[in-house]
């Protein structure tokens, strides 16, 4: 073993011995040799962004600030968030809802109606 490997093994053993018996048994069960206490933490889940590089939270906040009065219901806000998440995640159900809403809005405009 090289100097670094011996040092790492010493540190690994020290970490293992400082743990509770329950945790030690868990590591032994999975395999002490496979256990790596020096493993780097996993990266956080990517924060999803749309084509404009905005997060879902940013889009919802911008929409509600620019297109709604100060008072809107929780249901309305939940609907905005749901469709925003669905569209950003490219969920076909929400893409269908969006396509229908755009089509219906054009239909109402063409026939002189308002929503």
Other C-beta atoms lying within 10 Å of the C-beta of residue 105: 12
Write out residues in the chain with pLDDT < 70, as ranges: 1-4, 42-46
Helices (H), the chain: 3-18, 21-30, 56-67, 74-88, 92-110
pLDDT at position 114 is 85
pLDDT at position 6 is 84
Q: In whole angstroms, give the CA distance from residue 39 to residue 47.
A: 23
pLDDT at position 42 is 63
pTM beyond 0.85, yes or no = no
Q: Which residues contact 99 (CB under 8 A, 6 or more apart)?
A: none
pLDDT at position 71 is 82
- How far, rounded to the nearest angstrom, does the alpha carbon of residue 26 sit from its chain's CA centroid? 29
pLDDT at position 3 is 52
pLDDT at position 25 is 94
pLDDT at position 110 is 95
């Amino acid at each position: 073993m090289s100097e670094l490997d011996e040092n790492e093994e010493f540190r690994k053993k020290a970490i293992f011995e400082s743990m509770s018996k329950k945790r030690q048994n868990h590591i032994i069960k999975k395999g002490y040799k496979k256990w790596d206490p020096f493993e780097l933490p996993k990266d956080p889940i990517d924060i999803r962004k749309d084509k404009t590089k905005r997060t879902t939270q940013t889009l919802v906040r911008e929409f509600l600030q620019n297109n709604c009065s100060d008072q809107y219901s929780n249901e309305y806000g939940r609907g905005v968030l749901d469709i925003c998440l669905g569209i950003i995640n490219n969920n076909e159900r929400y893409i269908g809802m969006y396509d229908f809403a755009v089509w219906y809005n054009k239909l109402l405009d063409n026939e002189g109606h308002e929503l």
